[in-house]
Amino acid sequence: MSAAIEGSPNACEPLLRVEGLRTWFPIRAGILQRTVGNVRAVDNIDFEVAAGETLALVGESGCGKTTVGRSLLRLVEPQAGRVLFDGVDLCTLSKRELIPYRSDIQIVFQDPMASLDPRMRVRDAIAEGMRSFGIGANAAERTERVAALLERVQLDPAWMSRYPHEFSGGQRQRLCIARALAVEPRLIVCDEATSALDVSIQAQILNLLRDLQQDLGLAYLFITHDLGVVRYLADRVAVMYVGEIVEQGPTEQIFERPSHPYTQGLLSAIPSTDPGRRGISARVIGDVPSPANPPDGCRFHPRCPQAFERCGRERPPTYFAGEGSSRCFLSDPAAG
């Protein structure tokens, strides 16, 4: 659908490049509902996703992962930064200019029941997006395409007249994937898309996502708590902590040689072969600070086992090394 941006794509440009993205939510109080503070849900983050690649976004609950996904399409409005899709900054577009990009980027959420209208037959739910984006010349063509999509996600096309409640949890997530694919996206944001499913069903959905990526060249921004899933699916990983990305790098590097003490803490909680212990943060002691009032200096310093005096008063910059980056003074090459 992004043929609209003629001439702009650059062969070296990643599909998605996010620069300095900031999405804060105002906290209002009093009769006048004056702004008394801000929840700094996403606070100046940078990342890229290449075509056909999977970037996993991980971090504890409330660190801003969902807000990142929603900010891309301005379902929540960022206050600063750029979201370059194919070289076009989506933040500068009018709502009307943004419409074609709503098919390029699709979001699949954790709870398929909440994102499927219970009164709509599967055929109509999947064809709805096609109709709005002018895909398929007529109803018959769209129905044919719905059948092909159901087959693509390994559901029986004969079920297209059924309602969502007639499907199991895993099947409903397949329906959501089919609906996303119907509008020919190039990037799918999977926001905890497999988290609510049983482990065996989860594995099937992950395999499906992987096959689809190979066949269609899709890129994924894969938001999850489950580091086992990250290792299986992601090419690169970005670790978020209280609105910031504290470490990024290729998956193997992150798992084998994590630089940031927060990433080290997350990973120490998971022997990756043990699905029962794949939860996040078991070994990061203490509570997550509020994004409305993040600690001064390094945001991780109250919980960091390696913190030293400077960490409480100065905010570390992001240090780059090879293909990775880390926001920790200990990663400063000049510090030796």
φ, ψ (nearest 5 deg) of residue 328: -155, 135
64 binds ligand ATP (CB under 6 A): yes
Instruction: Round to whole Å and give the CA distance between 219 and 214.
Output: 10
3-state class (DSSP) for residue 94: coil
Question: 240 to 269, contacts with ligand ATP by CB under 6 A?
Answer: none
Do the Cβ atoms of 251 and 56 come closer than 8 Å?
yes
User: Quick one: what does residue 41 bind among Mg ion, ligand ATP, ligand SF4, none, with the CB cut-off 5 to 8 Å set by partner type?
Assistant: ligand ATP
Among 17, 300, 324, 325, binds ligand SF4 (CB under 6 A): 300
CB closer to ligand ATP out of 75 and 148: 75
Among 16, 18, 21, 41, binds ligand ATP (CB under 6 A): 41
What six digits make up the tokens of 58? 């991980």
**N-term to C-term CA, the chain:** 49
224 binds Mg ion (CB under 5 A): no
Among 205, 218, 311, 325, binds ligand SF4 (CB under 6 A): 311
State the Cα angle at 10 between 6 and 14, rounded to 5°. Answer: 115
Binding map of ligand SF4 across residues 253-292, x = CB under 6 A, - = no contact? -------xx-------------------------------
Of residues 169, 208, 203, 167, the one with CA closest to residue 188 = 208
Q: How far is the CB of 243 from ligand SF4 (least distance, A)?
A: 15
Do the Cβ atoms of 22 and 42 come closer than 8 Å?
yes
Of residues 31, 54, 28, 59, the one with CA closest to residue 43 = 59
CB closer to ligand ATP out of 185 and 291: 291
CB closer to Mg ion out of 67 and 103: 67
Give the count of residues interacting with ligand ATP (CB under 6 A): 12
Among 83, 307, 324, 325, binds ligand SF4 (CB under 6 A): 307
CB closer to ligand ATP out of 41 and 218: 41
229 binds ligand ATP (CB under 6 A): no
Could you write out the three-class secondary structure of 244-291? Answer: EEEEEEEHHHHHHCCCCHHHHHHHHCCCCCCHHHCCCCCCCCCCCCCC
301 binds ligand SF4 (CB under 6 A): yes
Strand partners, 57: 223, 238
Q: What is the CA radius of gyration of the chain?
A: 21
Do the Cβ atoms of 24 and 80 come closer than 8 Å?
no
316 binds ligand SF4 (CB under 6 A): yes
Binding site for ligand SF4 (CB under 6 A): 260-261, 298, 300-301, 304, 306-307, 311, 316, 328-330
Binding site for ligand ATP (CB under 6 A): 25, 39, 41, 59, 61-67, 291
